């Protein structure tokens, strides 16, 4: 097994990079915003479902406790 030497990135290396034109930035940013909006919608649906399931679960637990109270002295 050979070890690879990792050299840290220097700020001068970053400055040497190719200039990015402004018009090239608009499409990736738009795609990024669209993707984050889609992900946010999915997360919102998941949160809504989670809250609904918790509500149903707590209601069910309350009904179960009323029908069959747990005797802690057993």
pTM as predicted: 0.48
Q: What is the pLDDT of residue 21?
A: 59
Look at residues 53, 73, 49 and name the one whose alpha carbon lies nearest to residue 61: 53
Report the alpha-carbon distance of residue 20 to residue 13 in Å, rounded. 15
pLDDT at 43: 96
pLDDT of residue 61: 87
Copy the structure tokens of residue 11. 């700020």
42-74 pLDDT tens trace = 999 999 999 999 999 898 888 888 888 776 665
Side-chain half-sphere CA neighbours of 14 within 13 A: 4
Coil, strand or helix at 6 = coil
Looking up tokens 């399931």 gives 53
């Amino acid at each position: 097994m050979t070890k690879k030497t990792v050299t840290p990135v220097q700020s001068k290396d970053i400055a040497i990079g190719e200039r990015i034109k402004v018009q090239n930035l608009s499409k990736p940013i738009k795609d990024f915003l669209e993707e984050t909006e889609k992900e946010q919608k999915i997360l919102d649906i998941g949160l809504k479902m989670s809250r609904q399931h918790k509500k149903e679960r707590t209601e069910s637990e309350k009904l179960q406790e009323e029908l069959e109270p747990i005797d802690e002295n057993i």
